[in-house]
Structure 1
């Protein structure tokens, strides 16, 4: 009716206007497509969650549990490690310093009275003795080999080898000095460098862990 009235008025004033009629067909089609898209996305999301729920037990079985990690070990060939040489390996995400000390380094460490040490605990789980003598920082028969976790006991930085005021290790982060047995001698670190569990299956092999 609106279109007819408009046409009549246009005839009256001598103008011709083509009446148009708007419909909701296009809008309805767009609305339908949007709804279908939503349903497709929702269905896909539900399917993805379902697949994830089914797959998770299999994925989880592939991850080592805490007990497996605790028993993890690393085998190191030390046959080529000469006197005065060092090497670093990773064990349980931490660097492990391995040094074949010189006779001079061993003697220097032996001469230090335990009473002079800030931390008088050997920090060595491989022996029953706890006093931080040089001998107790190694294992009997392999006193030249020093094996320690290379993490400063202050805030966890990595010390530099054969550095510092005591010829052992020096932490550049906050200035902790360790001697040739890895014992804290100066600086903010509260404890000696920790020693990991280790053993020697043979003369040329070290197993850490």
Structure 2
């Protein structure tokens, strides 16, 4: 399985990257595949110029194209951003603005953030979770926020392990072989179930009753 980590940290070393690495290690350790999990880290600070150019010319550079391909092909995704002005960083948002809108549909995603104060912890719920819901990703229930005072304190390791376990479960479940192929009759019934009936036709049917 392929686990891709997107870190939007800007400094070196970065608390954002530290949290991302801990989440990745915990997730890899919780999957049934164990050592067979391939972890790839995408550092957005290295892609800042190419992301900006993509907005102006519509084409990703070589490094950005490779990062977008890795995210698209991942079996699971960990995304971590520092908090800027009570939300995700502009670089973080810009990366997910240039990715194909359908690339994350159905993909398990663990969201995380770092900040200087615990007051920013709700950024996970009012900013990150809506963003990835819009992209139709499958977001794990437990999100992980790490304030400066959380490092070395009780609670953070437990949240990391809980979130990692949830992501590993989703990755393993979505990577299992599919069941028997659907019959032609079942496929037709499924298509009929989701056939879109124009609103005017629905009103006409109601009027005829």
Give the TM-score band, short-chain normalised.
Answer: under 0.3
Q: Which has the larger radius of gyration?
A: 1
Which of the pair has the greater relative contact order for Cα pairs under 8 Å at 6+ separation? 2
